[in-house]
Structures are given as structure tokens and as C-alpha cells.
Chains A and B, each alone.
Chain A
Amino acid sequence: MKESSDTRVLPSTPVERLRLYGVFFFFAAGFLYVVGGLAFRQLVQSSDLKEQSDTQSRRVVLRPPARGRIYDRNGFPLVDNRARWSVKADLAALQKEFRAEYLRLLAAEKAREAVQVDREKLMEDARVRVLQGWLNKVWFVIDETNRSSKDRKPAKLAPVTAPGERQVNIEDLRKHLRERRALPFTLVSDLAFPGTGQALTADDGTKSVARFIEQFPVEGPIRLESDIVRTYPFGAMAAHVLGYVKDTDELPDNVDDISEIRLESMQKLHYTGKTGAAGIELSYNHVLSGLSGWELWSKTSSGYNQTRLKYSEPQQGSNVPLSLDYRIQLAAESALSKVKDPQGKLLPAAAVMLDVHSGEILALASQPSFDPNRLADRVSANYYEEIEKSGGWLNRATQGLYAPGSTFKVITATAGMRKKVIDWDDILECGPSYRVGNRDFPEHEPAGFGEVNLDKMLAISCNVWNYQVALRTGIEALAAESRRFGLDTPLLQTVSDVESGRQPMTELPYAANRGLVVPDREYKLRIGAGAWNDGDTANMSIGQGYLLTTPLHMACVAASIARGQTRTTPSIIHDVRRDGHHVGSEPIGLTQAQFEALRGGMVRCVEEGTARVARIPGLVYAGKTGTAEYFKKGEKAHLAWMIGFAPANDPVVAFAVLVEGQLDTNTWGGKTAGPVAKEMLETWWPIAVKANQEEKAEGSR
């Protein structure tokens, strides 16, 4: 029975056999297909499949680099980086807590017999509640330890802490979950400076960080992370030159080029980096930015980071040496801060000092200013408005356009002598006014000055002398002379760009290259103001009318005259190899006697003339003051100017000072701008003497 039943299993008929072979073939084909498919994937497609798998299961996290430092000419750091300690929540590690809180909220909703339960909203609430709980713990540690252990007075930290830093921001959390779910969520962005912008004292800030480190549990979902943030040790000093940084999501380099693995196809997440927003931070952004770092992470099915597989550290950007000398810069800003209106409000002003030979700028100050520290992180709208309202964004030294007033008289005199309509020792009769056409152009001294030569004109700033000389010279020659001194030429372009004719890259963005006006007949017609007349020429001869220039241009004019040339190429970058080549410069074109008279007049201006308030015992220097009129709200106000160079015989530095007077201020060149120039020179002079002594000692060795 058994045998017969066994034999029944095998097919006996051809049809049945055929069927059996068919089944065998079907399975064999299927097996071959599977094996072949596997072999194909393993041997042929393996690299593509691995890449696909990597793409799906891994991600790259990019880390921004630290920016390079900015130094002054002596290697003193003007812009640095400091460690920023932020408290972050690891959302992946908090999943269980989120879930538990969600279930609790759900149970509460059900107990309330709510008709419709919005589960997404509940999950969001749960996340916020859990994170808020942890944030409360963070602040508990900081606040409690900020109270005196004995008398438990209120925390020192409390008044400067922005309320926003104590509450989890739902919008921020939503954005984070949408865009950067895998990265930790920031609870407190800067422990040392909570509230961002209002700096604690360094000691308080450090204590907060130390307290968190030592008192908060090490293990758990709350992490302390440190990164780099920009810091400006001198606060608002040279803020217009240095600029500030802002957040950017664009990292400074192509990470694919620097990594040894193929990153281009993978999902990329990045921490927010910084980019230059103004000043040197912007114009030298490509130098200051370093190379980004990257981390290759495997990720969980829910999208959180799991394990760091590989990484490459970010590389800091290069440093930028500036030509500024922080001591002179501080002195310039300190002097400007003393220039106030009757209500004690700072007057808008600017001051520039530069090296006569190299053109390197030693100080470039503009008032009002701003504190870049308060712009380095999240900028509060109030602070933005505050700067906007005060006019603090404008760099008055390079962007402010002003009539140069009587400081222009050095150019009028040069033009007259070069045109041979006047010589250094010619004497002109200068009464209380001078009639041009049907209008009397006044002298600033009601009685007039009588007989005036070049030397006296510069000392007392005689207007009538200039009216006469300018009318003899003519507007064409006067405008040409102004252009020869570069009053229509943009400044702070890099020398190579100027010479190669490329699109200029300015050393400071928007620096002194827009809105400059050297008027002439064509200009007046172009703006629709009619034909040029002698009155316009007389006006221009004393630096009034349509003429518009910047304090930096006038400092360059002073430096050029100091060297007996016409152009100075200023630079804010310090370079010891700078050879003193000034683009487009040529000899001033005066005889030795004429040049000596020009310089002598400027010395007399300081010693006994309009700038005598700025006289410095022991230092003989040349100066020229100016008081220009401008219209403010339809009424006349004054601009106070002073330019010059020092020492008179062997010039080393040149300077320009400008103060914008208001309707209610008594603003005059010598009286208002003079003390600022004096304070700058008084700071520079001992530095120069010491440097000179050291140089001599070095030479004698």
C-alpha cells in the first residue's frame, strides 16, 4: 500500500511530466532571475545603490568657520572672536518626553469631552511645554546663583534679560522643525549676553556660563554648545570703518570641493553663519571668511541625526591689518564727542588723519556712530531705529558730502598762481565786500582786511582776495585745478583696480565715490540752473555754491600739498611695502617761493590766525580753517572745517575735521573744528616722537 502510494506521487503520464517540468522550469527561471538580479545589483549597480542608500540614510551638516581678525597698524586687535555659549535642546532625545506630555494633554482633552481634538496642535503644545520646562530650569540655575547667597537680593542679570529669551518662541520652533529638525533647538542663544545686544559685564557673563556648566546636569537632553561670535573690543570705535556682520545661510565656500566624500547629492543642513554687512567686514568678506567644516551623519527614520560618521573642522579666515592706529582713532572720537549742541546732543561730525607719504589712514571717525557688538547677533528693531534716527549709519568722513568752505582757498590760491594771475607776494586791496555783477559779496570781517597778500590771506581767511583771484583765473581753470587735486575722483579704491580700469572694489563700501561735485558751466546747465556767472565763480572760490566734497578728500588735499603734489591715494589697509605711489599725482606746479608762501600762510593760520585756538606749543604745523554755510530746514547753518598737516617743515600726517553745525549752534571752523584737530595731533605727536627715537636707536646699532 505504501509503495503504491509513493509511486503515485510521480507523474506517470507525459502530460503530467510536462506539467512538472514546466513547474521546475518556472521555479528555476525565477531562481535564476533572483540570483541574477542580486548579482547584477551587487556587482554592477553596487556603487550607484550605495550612493542612493547614503543619500537616503545620511546627511551633511555644515559648520561655519570663524572669521579672521582685524588688527590696527600695530597689531592690536580691533575685531576679534569670542566664544559664545548657547544652550540647546536635543529634540531626538526629548522624543519620549514629548510623547508623554502629548498623551497627558490628550487625556485631559478627552476628559474635557472635547468634540474635536486637534492632534497636531496638541503635539506642538506638548513640545512647547516640555521645552519651556527645560528653559525654566536653565534660568533657575542662572537666576538663583545671581542672587547674593546671604541677602537674596534680586539677580543682577534680570534687568538686561530680554523677556523673549525666557519663553520658547513657537514660531522659531515651527521653523526649526520644518527646516532643521535634525539639529538641536536653541533655547538660550548666548548665555554670557542673554537678551542679545545688552552686554553684561565680562565678569557677569562668564559667571552665567560657569554656573550653567557646573550646576546643570551633564547628562540629559540639554546641551551646552560653544561657537564663535564676532566681538568688537572697543565697542563703537571706528564702527564705520570696521562695519558689522549679519546672519547668513550661505556658507563661504563650496564644501564639495574640500571634502573627500561626495556630498553634492546628500541632504545638507547648516548652522547659520556670519557674513560682512558693512565696512571692512563687507568689503574684505572674501578674506575674512574661512572654510566651512562639515560633518557626515547617519539619520534615524524620523529624520534626526544618529551617529557622526566623518567630519572636517572649519578653518578660520585670514586676518586683515588696517592702517588705523587705535590710539589716534580713540583720540579723534573722544575729541568729536565733546562737540555738542546747547542741549548736550552730539553734533554730527567727522575726522580723518592720514600718513602724508603712504596715504595710509591713521584715524577715520564719524559721529554719531553705533556699537557693532549690538549688531553682531540678532539686532533689536529698537536699536536699528535708534541708529537710523540719529543718522548713525552714514560714514560722514567718506560718504558725507559738504561744501568745503574756506579750506578750498588753498586750491583757489594754487589755481591763481599757476594761471599767473597772482603771485605769492602780490598785494590785493580787500575791503568789507567785493562787487560782482550787481551783488556785493561780503568779507567775514565787516571792516575788511585792507592790503592782503597770500600769506595773510591764508592766516585770516580773507574772502575778498579769493573773489578777485578766482574772477581773474576763471571757472575753467578753477574747476580744472579742483579736478587736478582729485575732488571729483572716488577714493579708497584699491590701486590695482584703479590702474587696471576694472570695476573698482572699494576698501570701504560706498566710500567717497558718489555725489561728488566739481561744478563748471556744463554742470550748471545740466542740472537746469541756468548759465554760469561770475557770482558762481566768486562763490566757488571760497568753497561755497555747488561744490561738494568729503572730509577724506580734504584730508587728501592737505596731504598732497604737504608733499608738494596734487593727489593722494588713501588706503585703510596697512602694508609695510607700500611705496608711496599716488595714482594720478603730479607736482603741484608752483615755484619754490610760491610753495613756501602757501605753506607759510597755513603755518601762520595756526600760529596767529583763525586756527590759533588749535596751536600746540612745541609743534609747528600748517592748517586752514573753514566755515561754510548750508541750508537746514530752509535756514542757514554752519559747517566747521579744519585741514592741515604736521609738522610744517617735514610733514608726516595730514588731517581734516568737519562738524555739522545746527540752527541753534555757534559753529566756526577754528573754534569748533580746531580743538578736535588739536586733540588728534596732541595724541599723534608723542607717538611720532617715540617712533622717531626708536628708529634712530635702531639705526645707530
Chain B
Amino acid sequence: MDQNRQGARASYVALAISFAVWVLLPSAVRRLNREAFAEFQAPALHLVGKSRDLATFWEKKSRSTEEMAAAGRDLARINAALEIKLNALEDIRRENVRLREITRYNVPVEYLSVVARVATRDSSSWWQRIVIRKGRNDGIRPGAPVVFGNTVVGRVTAVHLTTSEVDLVTSPGFRCTAYLEGDDQNHIVLVNGVAANSLGTAKARVSVIPRDYSMPAGQPARVFTTGMGGVFPSRLMLGYLDGGTYATQVGNFKESLLIPSRDLYNLQEVSVLVPLHQNPGEALMQGDQFQ
């Protein structure tokens, strides 16, 4: 009995000592520890993502040859149309470059696009964060915007060697400026994720809407990025204003909710837009050099 008691006491003491050591550890060591854990966890996350890809592959493999042939024909048509569009875009790009040279226009921010598969959704922040299978090795940096097509998905918050964490638009850690469709004066509004309840739907809040703003009739107003903050390119879709809560007035402005234009729960692939030049926000995220 005594031995048992002593053993239990020893384990409590060990726990207390471990806790005390953890608390007293310098923050750099703790950060290193967390980083090491993320790296340790990364292969498992890769495995989860790849297993899902494999499942999708076998699901597609089971389809009939006719189905595949029809899908192939459709794809060929889409490809042909896209190629024409690509050529047209290339012409526009060249014209843009020429005009910028003539007008000595200051190119805002240039990005390198890195395509990444989604490994998993992170449950630790109420599923408002995803983990992607690209990291520092692929040139991804913290703060980079993450998009799918023309739609903003979120923003990279942490980068590990082979994985990165992305805060979704609906995450409380996400914030950006936006324009509202139908606002001729282009007032900037604020889009901020809202902390979701455990079973609630994730949302983002659109605030600082001018009081005299009125939504275009017959359709929910689209919400676009401004491109002024130096992080997100301009005119990317963030989502739609939720008409139902539109009339809410907070303080001297109006406020509404944002309905994301993509189903953020079912993303499989995203593009990370890595700025060619580091912006100051990245420096802030990387360390304290100002005190």
C-alpha cells in the first residue's frame, strides 16, 4: 500500500516538476518545442492528405470508360476555350507591362503562385484553420494570401518545413479590407472572422459599412479585396453580404455578415500567393526587432 502511495506521489511530483519546468523555460525553447512537434506531426498530416487523395483516385478509377471518355471530351473543349483566353490574357499582360513602363507606374505587389493540397482541417481552432502540404521548403512565407481561383480562402499564419497553417476567412485571426459592390465611392470596409460556436456555422463580419450604403437590388452584394493593404491582390472575391443581417447598425456605421463564396469546409487544393518582396507585416510576424 505504502509503495503504491509513494508511486502515486512520485508521479504527481514529476508532473508538477514538468509543469514548472515548462513554465520556466525560455520562450524560445518553448517555441522550438512547438515547432518540433509540428515537424513531428507533419508526416502524419501528409499521410492523411495522401490517403484522401488515394480514396478519391480509387473512387474515380471505378467509373466506367464511357463516363471517363465523356469527361475527357468535356475537358478537351474547356481546355481549348481556356487556351484562347490564355492567349488573350497574354496580350493584355504585355500591353499592361508596356503601359506601366510608359507611365512609370509603381507595380503594387507581385506574387509567386504555389499550388498546395489541403492536408487537414485543424480542430484546435474550431476548424477555422487548414493545414496545407507545402511549407518553407516550397518558398511559402507567413502572411501570404491563400486563394482558390478568384476567391480568397485565407492567409498563412504559420510555416513549417513541409506544411503550413492557413487561417480561413472565417477565422477570428483573419482581417482584411474590402470594397462592397454598389458602393460608387469605394469606401473601405473591414472583414474580420468571428469566433464560431462549437456547433455553429463559421462567419465573418463586415463592419464599418457607411450608413448611406445601399445594396444593389435583387442580389446579394459581392465583397472584394481592395489591394491597398499590400497583402491581398485587388478584386479577389471574399464572399457576399448576408442580406438578412444587413440592416444592423453598430455605432455610427452599419455591419453585416459575410457568406464566403466557396465552401471552405470542402477545399482540397489552394494556391498560396507568395509576394516576391517581403512586406513589413511579415517582419512583425517573424520577431520583435523594435523595442
Contact = CB atoms under 8 A, between A and B. Distances in A.
* A and B associate: yes
Interface in B164-218: 172-177, 187-188, 190, 192, 207-208, 210-211
B252 A314 contact: yes
Interface in A124-139: 129, 133, 136-137
Nearest to B226: A210
A293 interface: yes
Nearest to B143: A215
Given A133-B290, A228-B252, A314-B252, A215 B211 contact: no
A313 interface: yes
A644 interface: no
A149 B231 CA distance: 13
A210 B190 CA distance: 9
A213 B177 contact: yes
Interface stretch (B34-42, B67-75, B236-244, B277-285): B277-285
Contact of B284 (A137, A207, A293, A316): A137
Contacts of A213: 175-177, 190, 229
Interface string B249-273: 1111100000000000000000000
B228 interface: yes
B251 A313 contact: yes
Contacts of A218: 172-175, 192
A34 interface: no
Interface string A321-347: 000000000000000000000000000
B118 to A, nearest CB: 22
Contacts of A209: 177, 188
Contacts of A140: 280, 283-284, 290
Given A83-B253, A148-B106, A316-B211, A214 B177 contact: yes
A211 interface: yes
B224 interface: no
A120 interface: no
B230 interface: yes
Contacts of B279: 144-145, 215
B221 to A, nearest CB: 18
A206 interface: yes
A136 B187 CA distance: 27
B208 A214 contact: no
Contacts of A66: 252
A141 B281 contact: yes
A227 interface: yes
A83 B189 CA distance: 10
B291 interface: yes
B188 A214 contact: no
Contacts of B253: 83, 226
B84 to A, nearest CB: 33
A215 B279 CA distance: 8
Contact of A133 (B252, B281, B291): B291
A65 interface: yes
Interface in A263-301: 293
A216 interface: yes
A161 interface: no
B228 A216 contact: no
B228 A81 contact: no
A28 B251 CA distance: 58
Contacts of B228: 206-207, 210-211
Nearest to A215: B281
A313 B290 CA distance: 38
Contacts of A175: none
A219 interface: yes
Nearest to A149: B277
Q: In the complex, which of the residues B188, B228, B252 has the most CB atoms of chain A within 10 Å of its own CB atom?
A: B252
A215 B208 contact: no
Contacts, number: 101
Given A83-B253, A145-B280, A218-B175, A137 B230 contact: no
Contacts of A136: 290
Given A214-B175, A219-B173, A293 B229 contact: no
Contacts of B284: 137, 140-141, 215-217
Q: Interface residue tally of chain B, by bracket?
A: 35 or more
A313 B281 contact: no
A488 B251 CA distance: 47
A218 B108 CA distance: 23
Contact of B208 (A83, A133, A314): A83
Contacts of A148: 106
Nearest to B177: A210
Contacts of B107: 149-150
Nearest to A214: B229
Nearest to B193: A218
Contact of B187 (A83, A150, A214, A215): A83
Contacts of B283: 140, 144
A142 to B, nearest CB: 8
A628 B127 CA distance: 81
Given A137-B290, A218-B175, A228-B252, A144 B280 contact: yes
B115 interface: no
Nearest to A290: B252
A145 B109 CA distance: 10
B58 to A, nearest CB: 41
A132 to B, nearest CB: 9
A148 B107 CA distance: 9
A216 B175 CA distance: 9
Contacts of A216: 281, 284
A215 B280 contact: yes
Nearest to A85: B208
A63 interface: yes
Contacts of A141: 280-281, 284
Residue with the highest number of chain B CB atoms closer than 10 Å, among A150, A216, A218, A316: A218
A216 B281 CA distance: 6
Contacts of B172: 218-219
A536 B283 CA distance: 81
Contacts of B277: 149
Contact of A215 (B173, B231, B288): B231
A218 B283 CA distance: 15
B175 to A, nearest CB: 5
Contacts of A228: 252
Contacts of B211: 316
Contacts of B175: 213-214, 218
B106 A214 contact: no
Contacts of A149: 106-109, 277
B24 to A, nearest CB: 14
B288 to A, nearest CB: 8
A183 B284 CA distance: 25
B211 to A, nearest CB: 7
Contacts of B192: 218
Contacts of B230: 145, 210-211, 214-215
A81 B288 CA distance: 37
Given A210-B188, A210-B230, A227-B251, 13 more contacts: A66-B252, A133-B288, A141-B284, A144-B279, A148-B106, A149-B108, A211-B228, A213-B190, A214-B230, A215-B281, A227-B252, A313-B250, A314-B252
9 contacts: A210-B228, A211-B228, A213-B229, A214-B232, A215-B229, A218-B175, A226-B207, A226-B251, A293-B251
